[in-house]
């Protein structure tokens, strides 16, 4: 959905918020997925990485929402 919005409104993808969103999302998502997989396979003390992944992912989504709200207003 986020990619479709960036394609529909290309001016949104050239802002600093878009770049921050990109990096937070693309770092947070793999961390979260790998941490959840590690938890499933019994890795101890992996909960911290799950929290870090969620926080990075959520921060990226919030930056996306702020970018859309600010630029399309």
Q: What is the model's pTM?
A: 0.88
State the average pLDDT over residues 1-28: 94
Tell me the three-class secondary structure of 17-44, residue by residue. Answer: HHHHHHHHHHHHHHHHHHHHHHHHCCCC
Question: How does the average pLDDT of the chain come out, rounded?
Answer: 95
- Cα angle 3-37-5, degrees, rounded to a multiple of 5: 5
Residue 51 confidence (pLDDT): 97
Region 8-21 average pLDDT: 94
């Amino acid at each position: 959905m986020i990619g479709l919005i960036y394609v529909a409104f290309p001016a949104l993808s050239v802002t600093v918020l878009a770049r921050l969103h990109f990096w937070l999302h693309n770092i947070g998502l793999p961390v979260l997925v790998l941490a959840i997989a590690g938890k499933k396979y019994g890795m101890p003390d992996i909960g911290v990485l799950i929290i870090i992944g969620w926080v990075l992912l959520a921060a990226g989504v919030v930056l996306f929402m702020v970018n859309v709200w600010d630029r399309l207003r």
